[in-house]
C-alpha cells in the first residue's frame, strides 16, 4: 500500500490488534473528527478499545495549562476525547507511577508483547513510528505477531496513513 493511500483501521480492529495512541495524535488538529466520527463507532461495533499509557493522559492534562493558546485548545479537545472514550468503555489507560516518558513506555510494551498480540500505534512522531516498525525486524525474537504504525492525515479529515520503514516521511 502506498503511504498516501487511505488505510483501513477497521481491519486492525477486526483482526484484534491492541491499538495504542500517543499524545501528538490525541492533540492533532483532526483528532476530534477522527476519534469521534471514524474510530469510536468501529470500536463500539467490534467491542474493542484503544490503549494509552498513563503518561499520555498526564501529558494531555499538563498541556491543558499551556500558555500557548493553540496547545491549550488541542489539549482540551484531547481531554474531551479521552473522557468520552472512557465513558463508553472504549479507552483503557495503563501504567504505573514510575513509568518513564510515553515513548519509552510504547517501546517497552511493544517489546514485551510482540510475541503475544498484534500491535498498532497511532502516532504523528516519525522517530517513534520508525522505532516501533523496526521491532518487526528483530532477529532474536521468533513467533512475532504483526506490528503497524499509522498517523492521522495532515489534510484529509477521517483518514489515516501507514508509516513505512522504506519510504521518506513528511
3-56: pLDDT as tens digits:
445 578 899 999 899 999 999 999 999 999 999 999 999 999 999 999 998 889
- Angle at which helices 126-134 and 102-113 cross, to 10°: 20
Smallest CA-to-CA distance from 83 within 66, 61, 105, 65 is with 61
Grid cell at residue 125: 512522531
**Distance between CA atoms of residues 154 and 161, nearest Å:** 10
**Distance between CA atoms of residues 157 and 152, nearest Å:** 8
pLDDT at 144: 73
**Distance between CA atoms of residues 153 and 44, nearest Å:** 23
pLDDT at 167: 53
Tens digit of each residue's pLDDT (9 = 90 or more) over 123-170:
999 999 999 999 888 778 776 789 999 999 887 777 888 887 765 544
Domains of the chain and any CATH numbers = 9-162 (3.40.50.1010)
Pair type for strands 147-152 and 160-162? antiparallel
**Distance between CA atoms of residues 158 and 170, nearest Å:** 19
**135 contacts 147 by C-beta, under 8 angstroms:** yes
**Distance between CA atoms of residues 49 and 17, nearest Å:** 10
Tens digit of each residue's pLDDT (9 = 90 or more) over 91-135:
999 877 776 678 788 888 898 899 899 999 999 999 999 999 998
Using alpha carbons only, give the angle 19, 14, 155 rounded to the nearest 5 degrees.
60
Q: What's the whole-model pTM score?
A: 0.90
Per-residue DSSP letters for 46-102? TT--EEEEHHHHHHHHHHTT-SSHHHHHHHHHHHHHHHHHHHTT-EEEE--TT---H
Tracing cell 484484534 back to the chain, one arrives at 16
Amino acid at each position: 500500500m502506498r503511504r498516501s493511500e487511505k488505510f483501513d483501521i477497521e481491519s486492525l480492529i477486526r483482526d484484534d490488534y491492541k491499538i495504542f495512541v500517543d499524545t501528538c495524535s490525541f492533540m492533532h488538529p483532526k483528532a476530534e473528527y477522527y476519534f469521534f466520527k471514524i474510530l469510536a463507532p468501529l470500536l463500539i461495533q467490534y467491542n474493542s478499545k484503544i490503549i494509552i499509557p498513563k503518561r499520555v493522559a498526564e501529558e494531555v492534562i499538563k498541556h491543558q495549562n499551556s500558555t500557548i493558546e493553540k496547545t491549550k485548545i488541542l489539549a482540551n479537545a484531547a481531554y474531551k476525547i479521552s473522557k468520552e472514550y472512557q465513558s463508553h468503555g472504549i479507552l483503557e489507560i495503563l501504567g504505573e507511577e514510575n513509568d518513564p516518558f510515553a515513548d519509552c513506555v510504547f517501546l517497552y510494551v511493544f517489546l514485551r508483547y510482540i510475541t503475544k498480540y498484534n500491535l498498532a500505534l497511532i502516532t504523528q512522531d516519525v522517530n517513534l513510528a520508525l522505532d516501533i516498525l523496526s521491532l518487526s525486524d528483530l532477529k532474536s525474537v521468533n513467533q512475532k505477531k504483526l506490528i503497524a504504525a499509522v498517523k492521522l492525515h495532515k489534510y484529509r479529515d477521517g483518514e489515516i496513513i501507514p508509516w513505512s520503514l522504506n519510504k521518506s516521511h513528511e
